[in-house]
Chain A
């Protein structure tokens, strides 16, 4: 298998958060300057009093943002990643209202990124993003296609972020590779707002002294 994921991705978040690197700040870690093509506002991290909480897109199985899109610009790839076709998006922001995680953002201004003369963003490779459309964390499909880890996983110095494949049952933070189901079970990983029934695919691992509250 290449870097391309087989079917269902997940992002595990190890509870090393609150210490060291992640406590220092938020998104610049996830979007290193080296990869300036990274889209979107750098607001992917929620900060609490007791901890920092990474907030990627939860790539819900039964994604509410998908259903409410009036022009079907939001779609789910075979791997389960929810993407926005920015050539079709009309910018109504209904999906932002529907997302229970606030994971979407609107490109109010010209988004950053290289305006490559020959490369136009495609639905599967929405980089750079377009002004007036909605964007979201997309598990760095433009990097995973090339066999690279998502930028946040790659950049996290504490190895707190894992990316995994639910079908192949494997997850890695870049240094260490674990069996996903086992890792989730042994660490009492939980999914945020699981009770909403959207089937989020991001797991958090608490129990490192942080106080978790919703």
Chain B
């Protein structure tokens, strides 16, 4: 048995997390046991159906929802598309979606494809202006509001569950950035998550639709386990995702406290040791494991490359490789520096010494890149 190949320097858990140890055995066992079609009445089909029901049960337990509110989808993105557009389709009011400008591109693309959008501004920390959102949601043609649980690029928590909406305007929450790590907020009619962001396998999304929500399938219907499923379920992966989710929820108090403190270290050290840097996002009310900052006069991609050469894997919201590329719409909406951007997100095993090694290496690399342009 081999462990994940992710090295100690992989600081990009917001993009992908290695398979959780709790998921590995489940996945291997389910590959053999869960191959059949869960709709079939023969023995192998019943076995597959049992596993699917187990996966939904475990997921619903971990998330604190009903089992019949859980649907596995082929990705988090697909869960976002289905969840949001299904609420719009079910609305009696209209097809306008009110959402913050800082939503994930999956929300933006879904709105462009199947609805009309009204983007609401955010503050400098990336939190939606809740009063503006609530006001915009009262317009007669609003079919749904989309509000992420937390921002995927800067970590700022959004006030889901605190926004007053008209009774017949449902809220969709993209919970991909937080699912498993944080308890779900209240006040939503549909929600989406993505297993590879909590340590499940890729190719598993979770769509949650509340029992009483008016949701209609926005895509061609299929004849699967429930009305929201499309195509043959990836049962072994769904079961492994559920096992990882249970494990992550069970250990999150300890992991989150550790991560929150480590990110505080990064925020403090980067701000103190790198000149002309802007550490962005809410310093407190944020995802525990993620921080974003931007270094003046630095090409973000060049910084990614230099960090990678020293063994650190981080993401960047900058787009400096060609003058036509647009920078991160999140940073743009916040009005913060878009170039020289680094998003660092901790893996489950990341330690203080890993974080210190990054913070030790960064000032020299930034100074070197600035030196190349004579600054």
| A-B complex is real | no
| Chain B residues proximal to chain A, CB less than 8 Å | none
